[in-house]
Amino acid sequence: MQGRKLELRDSPALPEVRHHRHSQNGYVPTHPHTGHTTDYTAWHRRYPSCGGSQQSPILVLFAQSEYKYFDPIQFLNYDSYLQIDIEMVGTTLFFYPFGVDLGVFGGPLQVQYSFFMGTIHIGKDRHSGSEHFIENQGYAAEVQLIHTTEMLSDNDCLKEANGLLVLVILFEEKNDDNEDLAPLLDAMQELQDNAHNLHTSTKFLMSSLIPDDTLEYYIYPGSLSFPPCTERTINVVFQRTLEELRKLRWRLGGDASCTGPLAGNVRPITDGRGGVKSTRTIFRSFFSFTPSTGASTHAVRGAAVALFAVVASSASLKQP
């Protein structure tokens, strides 16, 4: 059924992905980006891909996109509880699943992708936490869910991976509590309180990170937004955000007058600055736009916008 939070259907079993934080031999994957600085202009010296022409994030504009029909994106096992291992590396927070195989398929994707890891970005105010901007507007936070078609043994393989898929969700700041995010918030608070304990685990429902409406989105070719900045990407921008608890930024990012360890872990826009038209083709799955709200005509409430960045080969886009 279209318009549901999750589109679930029977699908072939996902391949085993040996990237779990606690494997039988106690292996813990290494980070290619460990130790990277927030001097984003210097990343390309160590990781040449970071200086490429297809980098993310970008500014997404309705007027610079083209309409293209795609079927709904499907989510496999996102309505299941699973353990996630959470780790702070530098100024970025990463989380890894174990216990349940998660998948994404359908829509513009020709193959099925397995969830590999996620990253969380927090701002110092309600408009500086997202890496991607929609219609010149930033958001309070951004979560990136990275998937792959390959069996990656550890994070070092990201720099040579093909068929990566990253779902990037934008968050608007609200004062009301979002109870679905409570387990994740508590685990993040534990990291904040215990500086020497750089990882923890919690049980979490992954569907709480997926917007209610996943039918409307933008698509553009991009990259991982952190080293190794792997390109060969497709970015899908949905017309819905999730609500972020204000205390998420208060706990981890600090108010405007103070700074937390994760505050400002945001890569600047790499394309579309200053109204300059992007050289990349941006598609959208919805036809019309309401300038007064910044939402499509199907979005009847609010101006919520969410982004799914899909990192994959540009050939993964289905032709109508």
Q: Over the stretch 239-248, which tens digit does the pLDDT of each residue have?
A: 787 776 555 5
The pLDDT tens digits of the residues spanning 14-51 come to 233 333 333 332 223 334 444 455 678 888 888 898 98
For 187, the enclosing helix (H) or strand (E) is helix 182-193
- Please report which confidence band the pLDDT of residue 315 belongs to, taking 50, 70 and 90 as the band edges: very low
Share of the chain above pLDDT 70, in %: 61
Instruction: Tell me which residue has tokens 């549901």.
Output: 4
More confident site: 21 or 292: 21
3-class secondary-structure state, position 97: strand
Give the lowest-confidence range in 25-34, 50-59, 261-270: 25-34
Mean of per-residue pLDDT scores for the chain: 69
- What's the pLDDT tens digit per position in 137-160? 888 888 888 888 866 545 554 555
pLDDT at position 276 is: 54
**Residue 206, strand partner residues:** none
pLDDT at residue 67 tops 90? yes
Q: Classify domain 40-316 by CATH architecture.
A: Roll (3.10)
Give residue 290's pLDDT. Answer: 52
Instruction: Identify the pLDDT of residue 97.
Output: 84
Strands (DSSP E) found in 160-310: 164-174, 199-205, 217-220, 234-238, 242-245, 282-284, 306-310
CA atoms of 207 and 314, how far apart (whole Å) = 27
- Decide if pLDDT at 75 tops 90: yes
pLDDT at 125: 73
The overall longest dimension of the chain from CA atoms, in Å, is 56
pLDDT confidence of residue 81: 85
* pTM over cut 0.85: no
Q: Comparing 20-24, 217-221, 280-284, which segment has the lowest mean pLDDT?
A: 20-24
User: Does residue 211 or residue 264 have the better pLDDT?
Assistant: 211
* C-beta pairs of 254-261 under 8 Å, 24+ apart in sequence: 254/124, 255/124, 256/124, 256/125, 259/124, 260/122, 260/192, 261/88, 261/91, 261/192, 261/195
Chain centre to alpha carbon of residue 130 = 10
Least confident residue range of 4-8, 56-60, 86-90: 4-8
Select the more confidently predicted residue: 48 or 11.
Answer: 48
Mean pLDDT of 68-89: 87
Tens of pLDDT along 229-263? 888 877 777 778 777 655 555 455 444 333 444 54
- Strand, helix or coil for residue 169: strand
Nearest to 303 by CA among 260, 250, 241: 241
pLDDT given at position 37: 59
> What is the Cα–Cα distance from 9 to 48, expressed in whole angstroms?
40
Strands across the sheet containing 217-220: 65-67, 282-284, 217-220, 234-238, 306-310
Question: Best-predicted range by mean pLDDT among 11-15, 80-84, 178-182?
Answer: 80-84
- What's the rounded Cα separation, in Å, for the pair 201 and 237? 29
